[in-house]
Chain A
Amino acid sequence: MNRFNYLFTSTKGLILTAIALVSIVTAVFNTLSGPMVEWGIRDLTVKWLGMDMNPAERAGRIIMLYHTIAMAVVAIEVYMMTSIIPMRKHEQKNINMLVTVGYITAMVFGLGFAYWGHNFTFHGLFLVGQSLVFFAGIMLAFALNPWKKEYYVTDKAFAHFKSGMDMERMAFFVMTVAMLISAGFGAVTGSFWANGHETFLAEDLIRNPDKTGLQKAIIGHLHIMLTLIAVSITLIVGRWLEFKGLFHKIAMPLMIIGTLIISGGVWSVVWTHLAHTFIYIGSVGVMLSALMLVIFSWKKLIHDNSIALGYTNPTLFQKLKALLSDPLKFGPTWQMVFMNFTVSGIGIFMAVKLEQIFRVWPAREERITLTGHWHILAAIIATIILMYYADIVGMKGKTRKWFGWIMIIGSDVAFASMTIFSMKTLFVPESVAQQGLMNTTMILADFGLGSLLVMMAIFLGWKLFDLFKGEGTWTKEAKNSELELERTSNPVLNIRRDNEFNSEGGVK
C-alpha cells in the first residue's frame, strides 16, 4: 500500500509512474514503424500482442497513440505545476487525482481501441479519460487564479504587477486557460468524427487548397497544444532554476503577451490567413522570454558553480567549465537554445523559403521536414522533463554527469541528424546521390536515440529494483514528496506538508 501511495499520490511517484508508462508505450509502439518493419520486429510485436493493424486505419491509430502519450506528458507538467506553484493542498490532491485517472484511462482504452479491434466502449472510455484531464485543467485554472491576494508575490525580485499580483502565476494561468480553449478546438472537431469530419493526418493536407474549417481547427489544435506544452515546461524550468530579478521581470510580461497572441493567432487559423502574422508576433514574445531564462540561468550557473569550484576571479575557460559542470541544470536551457536550430529556425526558414525551395520538392519530402521538426520539438520537451526528473530524484556525482551528458549529446546528435536527413535535398540536390548522407544521418540518429533508450532502460530498471527494497530511495521520496525550490509567494495557506494540515484540510 505504501508503494501504491508513493506511485499514485506523491508528486515524485506520480511523475515516475507517468514517465514509466510513456516509456513502455514508446518502447512497444516504436517497434511498429521505420526500420523495425524491415527487420521483421513489427511482425513479431503484432503477432505476439495480437494487434489489429488494418492499413486503412493507420491515421486513426497514430492520432490515438500520440494523444495517449500527450496526455501523460500533460499530466507530468500538471504534477510539477501543482507542486511548485502555491495552492491549497486539497486543490493539488484533487487536480492530481483527476489528471492521473484521466490520462491512464485515456492511455489504456485509447490504445485498446486503436490497436486491438474497435470496441466502442473503449472509445467511450478514451473520451472519458480525456474529459477527466480537461476537468483537471479547469480545476487547475481555478487553483492558479492570480487575482487571489494571498498569492501576490512576497519577494519583489519576482515579476509582478503594481498591485503585487504574481506575473509568473499569471503566465501559468494564461497558458492553462489557453490550453483548455485549444483542447476545445480538438474536442469540437472530434465530435464531428464520422459525422461530416474524417480522420486525416495534417501532414497529408499541406498542399490542399480547400481545407475545411474542421481540418484547419485540427491543424491549429495540434500546433498550439505542442506550443503550450513547451511554454509550460519553460515556466516550470524557470521556477526550478530559481528564475528571478531583472530578466524575470522582462520575461514574464513577454511570456503572457506572447502566449495570448500566439494562441489567438492559432485559433484564428480557422477563419483567416492573417493568423500566421499573429503567430509570428506571439512566437517572438515567447522565444524572447525563453531567451531571458537562458541568459539568467547561464549567468547563475557560472556564478554559483565558480564559487563551488573555488574560482574567485574566473577566466573565460573557467567560466565555461563552471557553466558545463552540472549538465542536468545546464541541459534544459541548452536544449531550448538547440531547439532554435532544429525547430524554430527550420520553421522560419521553411516559411521564408516555402515557394523557392520546399514547394519545389515533392510533397513527401516537404512532409518529412514538417513532421521531423515537430517530432523533434516534442522529443526536446521530453529530454527537459527527464533532466528535471533526474534532479528531482537527487541524482548526484558521476551518475548525474553521465546521465546529463548522454541526454544532451545523444539527443542533440539524433535531432541534428534527423534535421539534416529531413532537409537532405537542400545539401545534396539530386536524390540519386543522397544515399551516403542518408546512411550517415540514420546511423547517427540511431546512435543518439539508442544511447538515450539504453540509459532510460537502466534508469527505470534501477527505479523498479529500488521499489522492491523495503527501505529504498522511494521511501525518502514518499516522505518528502514535493519539489523543493523557491516559490514566488509564500501564503499562509500554502503549506505543503500533510502534517501541517488537520484532517479537514485547514491549517492547524
Chain B
Amino acid sequence: MKKILLLSLIIAFYGCSTEPIVNTEIEFVNTGVDPNGWVIVPAGIFNYGMHNKVVEINYDFEIMQTHVTNQQFAEYLNAALAKGSIFLENGNVMGAHPGDPFDGYLHEWKIPAGNYLHFPYSKPGGQIKLIENKFVVDKGFENHPVVMVTWFGAKAYADFKGYRLPLEKEWAKAARGTDTRAYPWGDHISANITNYGSSKNALQKLLGGNIARTAPVGYYNGNKYGDYQTEDNRSPCGAYDMGGNVWQWVGDDYPDVHYRYLRGGSFTNYEYDLFVWGRNSAGPDYYDFNIGFRCARDFVKPIPTETITLE
C-alpha cells in the first residue's frame, strides 16, 4: 500500500508541470484551401437546434469558408494599428466599444462604453507576436486559425473589414444546411474528419511539437498528408471546420445577459460539443487558446453585364 501511495505521489509530482507548452515553429502545411474564400448560404427554412425547430432566414448571406487565420489577423492588426482604430496597452491590443444595453437581470454585468481587450498578444497561447512594432505570425502557423481573440477583438476585425460576426441562427444554417444532421458534415465523427479531443494523437505526429493544438484551416478536405488520410468536413454550404478546431464567436447580444456565445467546439472538446446545436458562452472580454471566429456578410447578387451588339 505504501509503495502504491509513493508511486502515485511521484507520478503526480512529475506530471503536474504547469509550464505553458507553446509551439513557436512548425512545418507549414499547405491544405489547398483558400482562407479568403466565401460561401453562399441561401435563404430559406432550416431545422434549428437539438429539437429541430423550423426557422426561416429570409435572405441570402455569405460566410467565410474557413476561420480567420493568424496571417489575416496579423495583417489586420498592423493595418488597424496604423489607422489608429486599436491601440496597445501593457501587452494587449485594446479598442473602443460603444457599450451594451443593460437590463439589470440577475447575474448580468454592465458593459458600459469604453476601451476593452481585443487580443492579449503577450500571453502564451497565441501565435502572433509583436516584433519591432509589427505583428508577425510564428513560422508555420500562418494558415492556422487565430486564437486568443476576445469577442470585442473579433467584432473589431469584422467591422474594420466591412463584415460582421454571423448571428447564431446564421451560423447554425451555415453549419447544418436544411437537413437534421448532427455534425456539419453528417452524422458520424472520427479522428480523420476534424480536429477535436480524440484526434490529437494523429495531429501531434504530423504537425510536430509536444502538443498539436490548432490544425491549419481547411485541413480536413479529403487530402492525404503523409499516411494520414483526411475526410472532407465541409458543411452543406461548403464551409470548412464548422465543427472542431477552435470555437467561433457569434455576433448576437441577447437581452438579460452580458454573455456572448460560441459555436462549433474545439480541439479540446469531446464530440458532443461539436454538435451543430452545441453552445458555449463567456463574457465578451474572454479569450482562450481554443477560441477564434469567422465572419459573415450580406450577399449581393452580381449585376449581369449586358451584351451590346453592334450592327
Contact = CB atoms under 8 A, between A and B. Distances in A.
Interface of A: 33-34, 37-38, 54-56, 58-59, 198-199, 204, 207, 209-210, 273, 354-355, 359-364, 405, 409, 413, 427-428, 430-437, 439-440, 443-444, 447
Contacts of A59: 50
A363 B280 contact: yes
B107 A354 contact: yes
A65 to B, nearest CB: 14
Contacts of B11: 440, 443-444
Contact of B21 (A432, A443, A444): A432
Contacts of B282: 360-363
Contact of A430 (B12, B109, B123, B256): B123
Given A55-B182, A433-B19, A273 B283 contact: no
B83 interface: no
B76 interface: no
A209 B105 contact: yes
Interface in B256-278: 256-257, 259, 262, 268-273, 275
A362 B281 contact: yes
B257 A207 contact: yes
Q: How large is the interface on B (under 10, 10 to 19, 20 to 34, 35 or more residues)?
A: 35 or more
Per CB-CB distance, the 5 closest pairs between chain A and chain B, nearest first, are: A55-B182, A440-B15, A436-B17, A209-B256, A432-B125
A106 B110 CA distance: 48
B122 interface: no
Given A55-B187, A443-B11, A444-B11, A273 B288 contact: no
Contacts of B275: 55-56
Nearest to B51: A198
Given A37-B271, A440-B15, A443-B11, A433 B280 contact: no
A292 B187 CA distance: 54
Contact of B273 (A361, A364, A434): A364
Given A55-B187, A413-B8, A433-B19, 18 more contacts: A37-B198, A54-B187, A55-B183, A55-B272, A55-B275, A209-B108, A209-B257, A273-B106, A362-B288, A363-B280, A363-B281, A405-B1, A409-B5, A430-B20, A432-B289, A433-B18, A433-B20, A443-B11
B125 A362 contact: no
Chain A facing B: main interface SS: helix
14 contacts: A37-B198, A55-B183, A56-B180, A56-B182, A198-B50, A209-B257, A355-B107, A360-B286, A364-B269, A432-B20, A433-B124, A434-B18, A436-B19, A437-B18
Interface string B169-202: 0000000000010110001000000000110000
Contacts of B55: none
Contacts of A427: 18
Given A56-B182, A273-B106, A436 B273 contact: no
Contacts of B270: 33-34, 37
B290 interface: yes
B43 interface: no
Contacts of B257: 207, 209
A440 to B, nearest CB: 4
A409 B5 CA distance: 10
Contacts of A428: 18
A433 B20 CA distance: 4
Given A359-B107, A433-B20, A207 B281 contact: yes
Given A430-B125, A431-B268, A433-B18, A447 B8 contact: yes
B131 interface: no
B211 interface: yes
Contacts of A432: 20-22, 124-125, 289
B201 to A, nearest CB: 8
Nearest to B148: A432
A434 B21 CA distance: 9
A306 B268 CA distance: 52
A55 B274 CA distance: 11
Contacts of A38: 197-198
A209 B290 contact: no
B6 interface: no
Contact of A431 (B1, B125, B280): B125
A359 B109 CA distance: 10
B16 interface: yes
B18 A210 contact: no
A439 B272 CA distance: 21
Nearest to B14: A440
B101 to A, nearest CB: 14
Contacts of A413: 8
B292 to A, nearest CB: 14
A435 B290 CA distance: 13
A362 B15 contact: no
Interface string B55-79: 0000000000000000000000000
Nearest to A58: B272
Contacts of A437: 15-16, 18
A437 to B, nearest CB: 6
Contacts of A409: 5
Contacts of B109: 355
Nearest to A359: B107
A444 B182 contact: no
A427 B18 CA distance: 10
B85 to A, nearest CB: 27
Nearest to A361: B282
B283 A360 contact: yes
A405 B4 CA distance: 13
A207 B279 CA distance: 11
B18 A362 contact: no
Contact of B280 (A54, A58, A198, A362): A362
Contacts of B286: 360, 362
A210 B256 contact: yes
Nearest to B270: A37
Given A431-B268, A432-B20, A444-B11, A56 B50 contact: yes
Contact of B18 (A54, A209, A436): A436
Interface in B143-163: none
A440 B12 contact: yes
A436 B281 contact: no
Nearest to B103: A209
Contacts of B124: 430, 432-433
Contacts of A405: 1
B44 to A, nearest CB: 21
Contacts of B5: 409
B256 A436 contact: no
Contacts of A360: 282-283, 286
B45 to A, nearest CB: 18
Contact of B16 (A54, A273, A436): A436
A434 B288 CA distance: 12
A412 to B, nearest CB: 12
A207 B180 CA distance: 26
A59 B51 CA distance: 11
B111 to A, nearest CB: 14
Given A209-B257, A362-B280, A431 B289 contact: yes
Contacts of A54: 182, 187
A67 to B, nearest CB: 19
